[in-house]
Chains A and B, each alone.
Chain A
Amino acid sequence: MSKEGEKGMSLIVKTITRLTVGLILLYGIYLVLHGHVSPGGGFAGGVIIALSFIHLMLAYGKEAAFKKLSQSAASFFESFGAILFLTIALLGLIAGYFFSNFLPKGEPFRLFSAGIIPLCNIAVSFKVGAGLFAIFVALVLLKLDSEKKE
């Protein structure tokens, strides 16, 4: 990708990235948290969170992105998401069924409503975001390796 060494793209791209990457991350988090009252949800939000890190990585090179989210942290978040999701499902057993919606439903259209659904959204977003980031990193590293070999 990079024309001038390993350290990322040109100054314009870097500046714009610095301004937008936080907004993208915030938008992803917003989509996750409001998944049960408006369009969006765990998948879309998770992918956007992953995209914000990928954006950082494309613009600044991989070191900058790893400083924010190292690979072990990514794998930790992925496992954390999976375990959170399964825990919610298993807690449902107390209420009678696997995946039963055991929390109080609350008042519709509020942020804190709909029982387990927001929690599930958060879990799924962790999982999707970290998982996609891991896939991308693996592919990029593979490519860098093969270029080095040539």
Chain B
Amino acid sequence: MIELYILLIFMIIGAIVAIELKDLLSSVIAVGAVGLGLSIVFLILKAPDVAITQLVVEILCLIILIRATLKRDLPFSTTGRWFLNTAITIAFISAFLWMAVQALKDLPEFGYPIMKVAGTYLKKGLAETGAANLVSAVILDFRAYDTLGEATVLFTAVIGVLTVVRRVGRKKPDGIIEENNE
């Protein structure tokens, strides 16, 4: 399991680099590194489906972000109360982490999940759905309604993006402006 820790620490370093870099393009690429690390972690954790999806989604995210940031300026300004705000943020985050540590003690230990519901999937999954890939069986048969919702989220995002990129939102009081549907 040592490689898991190494990858996690690598990801945290990558995240910090991505956050603190002054150059937007490098920052976006550092996020890409974090995402690829995450994909390998998924493989180590025996989740090949998620690893593949994470990989391709990561690539797509990266392309979109690079398209957005290329040749763009980067003004950095530090406001007057920089120290105070940072202190508040760090205090909030440490309180959050402290509570999380308390709660994590009560969770089942790492590597030993309870698997009450999942147990039924393991036992009955193959016989009742006929799919060898249990993850497919879960998303498209046991919980297909979730997948419907998720496809709807994507559809909503498509329409949302199309809405946001419209050139003209309001019709002017006089004069006719033709609709521009992409």
The answer to A–B direct touch (Cβ < 8 A) is yes
Write 16 A-B pairs (CB below 8 A) sorted by A numbering: A1-B67, A36-B130, A39-B52, A41-B135, A47-B60, A82-B155, A105-B129, A114-B130, A127-B151, A134-B162, A135-B158, A136-B64, A138-B162, A141-B165, A141-B182, A145-B167
| Chain B residues, Cβ within 8 Å of A86 | 148
A-side interface mostly: helix
How distant is the Cα of A117 from the Cα of B49 in the complex, in angstroms?
A: 15
In this complex, what residue of A is CB-closest to B70?
Answer: A1
B-side interface mostly: helix
In this complex, what residue of B is CB-closest to A109?
Answer: B132
If A108-B126, A131-B155, A134-B158 touch, does A44 touch B141 (CB 8 Å cutoff)? Answer: no
If A108-B126, A127-B151, A139-B68 touch, does A39 touch B162 (CB 8 Å cutoff)? Answer: no
B25 within 8 A of A: no
Which 5 residue pairs spanning A and B have beta carbons closest together?
A105-B130, A39-B48, A114-B131, A36-B131, A114-B130
A128 within 8 A of B: yes
| Chain B residues, Cβ within 8 Å of A38 | 132-133
A54 within 8 A of B: yes
Known: A99-B148, A117-B131. 20 other contacts (CB 8 A): A36-B132, A37-B132, A41-B133, A44-B52, A47-B57, A81-B151, A85-B148, A98-B145, A105-B129, A108-B130, A113-B130, A115-B130, A116-B141, A117-B130, A117-B141, A127-B154, A128-B154, A132-B154, A134-B161, A138-B165
List residues of B whose CB falls within 8 A of some A CB: 48-49, 51-53, 56-57, 59-60, 63-64, 67-68, 70, 126, 128-133, 135-137, 139-141, 144-145, 147-148, 151, 154-155, 157-158, 161-162, 165, 167, 182
